[in-house]
A and B are shown apart, each in its own frame.
Chain A
Amino acid sequence: ETGVTQTPRHLVMGMTNKKSLKCEQHLGHNAMYWYKQSAKKPLELMFVYSLEERVENNSVPSRFSPECPNSSHLFLHLHTLQPEDSALYLCASSHFPGQPQGGNTIYFGEGSWLTVV
């Protein structure tokens, strides 16, 4: 138990579906992240939120839409995905880098396995 909970753990969706991934952290952190992990590729940072504001968006296609309603919750809304979007999506949280509690140790959830058919 890392204090970061992701649901669902597994998701299979068609290319025309709309679904959402959910992440919740119980660590009192003020930054949350979405990463994508595909086979044989490094972790790709998708989005960073600090104090509920998006501070980083790494050229992610618009079919991925993040939402951060508060510092404890983060969503990734998915629509009209492609088969190449199949991957493990990891949510993480930390104290935002540069703040006194910082040090950039981030805590990951167990991930959501997404398969697009």
Chain B
Amino acid sequence: SQQGEEDPQALSIQEGENATMNCSYKTSINNLQWYRQNSGRGLVHLILIRSNEREKHSGRLRVTLDTSKKSSSLLITASRAADTASYFCATTSGSRLTFGEGTQLTVNP
């Protein structure tokens, strides 16, 4: 299986609800990042969390990292229809950046 696996593969929620996506990985990492991709577009960097950090916030985004469990979560609070996109985690180990398969988030108005 892939380094950096997102869970769930697809998530559908109502506007205003919170969305939580999880990422698991296998090897030790330097940092973990989350990216967003609107349909048919390039990926946009959202947030980076280093291996010695446990939690990070950016606007409506909250990322946690548990290196003992080799997992991370991305929480989007008060979701909006415009948050509909695919979300990818990417782990850095050495000089290698590896992406997971992504979670497709749909926020219904």
Contact = CB atoms under 8 A, between A and B. Distances in A.
Whether both chains belong to one complex is answered with yes
A26 to B, nearest CB: 15
Most interface-central of B30, B33, B42, B48 (chain A CB within 10 A): B42
Interface stretch (A14-22, A68-76, A78-86, A103-111): A103-111
Contacts, number: 55
B95 A98 contact: yes
**Chain B: number of interface residues, binned into ranges:** 20 to 34
A107 B41 contact: no
Contact of B40 (A43, A92, A105, A113): A113
B2, B41, B98, B102 — which one has the most chain A CB atoms within 10 A of its CB?
B41
Nearest to A42: B101
Given A43-B99, A97-B97, A109 B31 contact: no
Nearest to A43: B99
Contacts of B31: 103-104
Nearest to A91: B42
Given A97-B95, A104-B97, A88 B40 contact: yes
A4 interface: yes
A2 B33 contact: no
A42 B100 contact: yes
B95 A2 contact: no
Interface in B23-42: 30-31, 33, 35, 40-42
Contacts of A109: 42
A90 interface: yes
Interface string A6-46: 10000000000000000000000000000000001111010
Contacts of A90: 42-43
A104 B2 contact: no
Contact of A105 (B30, B33, B100): B33
Given A104-B33, A104-B97, 7 more contacts: A42-B100, A43-B43, A45-B98, A92-B43, A105-B48, A108-B35, A108-B43
27 contacts: A6-B42, A41-B101, A42-B2, A43-B43, A43-B88, A43-B99, A45-B98, A88-B40, A90-B43, A92-B42, A96-B95, A97-B92, A97-B97, A98-B94, A98-B95, A104-B31, A104-B92, A105-B33, A106-B97, A107-B45, A108-B35, A108-B44, A109-B42, A110-B41, A111-B40, A111-B41, A111-B42
